[in-house]
Amino acid sequence: MQNKKQYILSELAVFLNADLIGDGQCLISSIAPLDKAVSGQISFLENPKYKEYLVTTKASALILRKSDAPNVSTNILIVADPYLAYAKLTSLFVHKPSLVTGVHATVICGENCSIDPTAKIDAYCVLGNEVRIAAGVSIGSGCVLGANVSIGENSQLNANITLYNDVEIGKRVLIHGGAVLGADGFGMANDRGKWVKIHQLGSVIVGDDVEIGANTTIDRGALEDTVIASGVKLDNQIQIGHNVRIGENTAIAGCTGIAGSVVIGKNCVLAGGVGINGHIEITDGVIVTAMSGVEKSITKPGVYSSGIPAKPHITWWRILARLLQLDDFAKRLSKLEKEVCNK
């Protein structure tokens, strides 16, 4: 289905493979939250705490599970997963500027570059030697691509992205502004108090259908490549160290830091602010909750947490005071155990 300004509800039902209840000719022009939607908009219910708005919403149509449909008076699309349906629907309403192909006159291009005629490269980009740009690629203004960089079909680089030499980007990859791929990993050897740089000889390999958030940094490998597998989704401001390998369809939220030589499996989820210690492995299907620190390898799928959630200031100080007394309590307990055992 092509992007356009309005759709009739029956078109959306076909697109989502949804059951339609109501007026299939109802015009839908955009998506809005349940409590803020107005006529001409469609909304959805995923979080039960918003269920009260089902009777007051002014949306022209709703995306619901079958169990939520009774007593709802507006038009309905019945699906198994409203949030997934909403995600798919956003592709129809996203604003996509028309792709004007060609290389802007201000682009500086190195020797022996291969640029498909259907690609677009905006103003003030710099391309090193031997850069390869495939069909349908869009590169925003101010990007810098080092020598021997390759970008696969229909990938999109937004403005001010830096790809160091030898970085490989797969097909249909989306990289947001300010991201840096292929900078040196943090490798140093100590020579009697002075640091000796370990030059990073690997690169960064990104698979297909990957999204990389704004200002995220992915370091090149020391000897082997840093690898981001197909389907991985990375949020903004993530740091990925050298030689890290991230498995297919893993999602990582903002401000996560991953130290060097970590191996993360497939279909994992790392929430915001997670810290991963270097040289460990996380198996497939692991969820790590926000602000957790992972120091050792995780070998079994499941949900893992650490850290202490925020508490009122006074409550936290009371908890801290008790924590500081634990060592003394342990010593006293050990002494009592010995006295009891000697009786």
DSSP for residue 59: -
Number of other CB atoms surrounding residue 67 within 10 Å: 7
Helix ranges restricted to H, the chain:
9-16, 82-93, 313-324, 326-341
Number of other CB atoms surrounding residue 206 within 10 Å: 26
| Closest to 176 in 3D by CA, of 236, 135, 116, 260 | 236
Whether the CB-CB separation of 156 and 175 falls below 8 Å is answered with: yes
Question: Catalytic one among 95, 104, 176, 242?
Answer: 242
The yes-or-no answer on residue 313 being catalytic is no
Q: Is 224 exposed, middle or buried (0-12, 13-18, 19+ CB in 10 A)?
A: middle
d(CA 119, CA 9): 35
Whether the CB-CB separation of 178 and 160 falls below 8 Å is answered with: yes
Q: Are strands 194-197 and 188-191 parallel, antiparallel or unpaired?
A: antiparallel
Amino acid letter, 316: W
Q: State the Cα angle at 237 between 236 and 239, rounded to 5°.
A: 125
Q: Is 270 exposed, middle or buried (0-12, 13-18, 19+ CB in 10 A)?
A: buried
Catalytic residues: 242
